[in-house]
Structure 1
């Protein structure tokens, strides 16, 4: 018999709450994967707007008219997309034009590999079919097209992407003022959104700086080695730098293959050794530490973010893995003082103590 002073149980058991939350998460993730072609460009537009929005905010703080700040926002993000798209298109067109020059090298390489594998007892018919697929002159262009696929897929839906960017650019100009109004009623939500925006800018700026450093070094090294199209491979290094942990592995494949065609196995090995040495030191040793300190995500969480968002949204999800994880963290963790104890676990270090509701309630 229950005593009069014993409190009655309230709410569902914690285990049931966890199961229900997990079930809802599965439904949401499944829906995101189904609508990946729609969500990918929207998330890309959001990340671009978050990155360039301080320009308009700064202009407004200096008394620049609202319409001029909006136009500047739109022009800045459009110029960024046009520059990237033009560089990709010109580089890929140059690569396609270059491939016929290596027809004889592809043929010789295929013949050498066929004879070697046949001497080891491997079925010659299977060898010829596999080598035809791998060493076809269009394979390099196809490979690079796949690597650029995430950005290319987003840019291909140009009308939709440009429309989303246009409206987001317009809204971004006075969005800080609307956040200040909302903060009086929902300070926790506004604080989480500001945390996401700040973390995303830090990540993108740090990654961009490191990407430029890696791209310049890789371009100079490949140019010194006589590898064709060093600018294209430098651009590829810059883009794959946004893929956490394993981006440089993707970026080394095309120049290594051209090194094989130019100088045989020694040429390929030199490209791999120099490329991996430079990129591993910068992207896998120095950059993760600085990025982790800037955004509060550990190396393990960053890698799992890459796997998860790449599975949900495809190549574009891999490129936007860290910003999307910061958005999820802001909406699921930072938004509620009762869940902020998870932050030190995600950051991989002792971190800061979870903020109290009073502290977190103040607008950032």
Structure 2
């Protein structure tokens, strides 16, 4: 708890550092490929750095547009929202539910508050990404140190083999998680854009990109990505359109991310469902929206440092992953149980 509160205190520094670390890990295969091809030394730094900066600036641009469009839509759809509230009051009155307390609660339901929550999340991420000078310097430093760091890790195998292996596993699992999540996130985002376009929901491309970004947030990311288009569907086409938007998102998310994606992701995360949810809650509390976005990689890093590097940590790894150790009696073949 002391460590987490300490990290939270200096979150403005730790957040960009961890973001830069994850981004450098994501493009490290590019550096390895260039090294094997005998590329000049400067390209081992310049190419991965360029890819990362393009991704970073692209995300900043998307979040900037999302914040601006959300603010504009909040003022545009005010009359439609008030009309929906009046219709809801009439329907409630027909069923005898229209008491003064219910009417007062409906009247106090402000559209601006809903948009403020969405805008606040995007602004929180934008606030971290806007520190581009610090993030860029960190990315440059990490890209420069990537090759020497790999050699140092190789030399450390003789002294701390479990720690070195745990760090390698962390890097591998993080890359696999990011790649698989990105590929299937793109598939979901494309299908979401098509569904929103068919339903005439404003700005379908923007909400598709938002769905891709929130795909990295476990458990709650789907709800965050669904809220803006569902609300716009309600304001643009009424309850029927909103229901179609919700059903479309749920079906697409269930088929792609619940049925297909786990077969490709496999045990890349190494965290149980409960630990995934706790990771989201803890890191969002410590680092805000950026912590929610990086919840899985950060928990994988903690697991590598505190559990996988410990010779006696196999039982703890089983607890947080929900999988039995390889040498347990239940996993041993018949007649060969220890």
Q: TM-score under structure 1 normalisation?
A: 0.81
1:82 is matched with 57
Match of 2:6 among 15, 31, 49: 31
Alignment of 1:298-317 (within 5 A): 298-317=272-291
Cα deviation code 1:221-278 (max 9, x no counterpart): 0001100000111011101111112311121111111111112111111111221221
Cα deviation code 1:93-116 (max 9, x no counterpart): 344445544343123224334566
1:61 is matched with 36
- Asked if 1:224 is matched to 2:202, the reply is no
DSSP-derived class of the 1:352 partner: coil
Q: Tell me the distance in 1 between the aligned counterparts of 2:175 and 2:289.
A: 21
Cα deviation code 1:151-205 (max 9, x no counterpart): 3121122222221111111111332222212223322221111111111111111
DSSP-derived class of the 2:244 partner: helix
Match of 1:331 among 302, 305, 322: 305
Q: Tell me the distance in 1 between the aligned counterparts of 2:202 and 2:267.
A: 37
Runs of 4+ deviating beyond 6 Å: none
- Asked if 1:44 is matched to 2:19, the reply is yes
Asked whether the equivalents of residues 64 and 126 of structure 2 are also in contact (C-alpha less than 8 Å), the reply is no
Q: TM-score under structure 2 normalisation?
A: 0.87
- Asked if 1:121 is matched to 2:95, the reply is no
- Asked if 1:105 is matched to 2:80, the reply is yes
1:71 is matched with 46
Q: Tell me the distance in 2 between the aligned counterparts of 1:248 and 1:167.
A: 34
Cα deviation code 1:3-42 (max 9, x no counterpart): xxxxxxxxxxxxxxxxxxxxxxx22122122222221111
Match of 2:147 among 169, 173, 180: 173
Asked whether the equivalents of residues 314 and 325 of structure 2 are also in contact (C-alpha less than 8 Å), the reply is no
- Asked if 1:209 is matched to 2:187, the reply is no
Mark the structure with the bigger radius of gyration: 1
Distance 1:103 1:336, change over 3 A: closer
Q: Tell me the distance in 2 between the aligned counterparts of 1:183 and 1:239.
A: 36
> Which consecutive unaligned segments of at least 5 residues does structure 1 have?
1-25, 355-364
DSSP-derived class of the 1:293 partner: coil
2:212 is matched with 238
Report deviation, 1:292: 4.9
Alignment root-mean-square deviation, CA: 2.4
Distance 1:303 1:286, change over 3 A: farther
Q: Tell me the distance in 1 between the aligned counterparts of 2:295 and 2:66.
A: 26
Asked whether the equivalents of residues 150 and 319 of structure 1 are also in contact (C-alpha less than 8 Å), the reply is no
Q: How many residues align?
A: 325
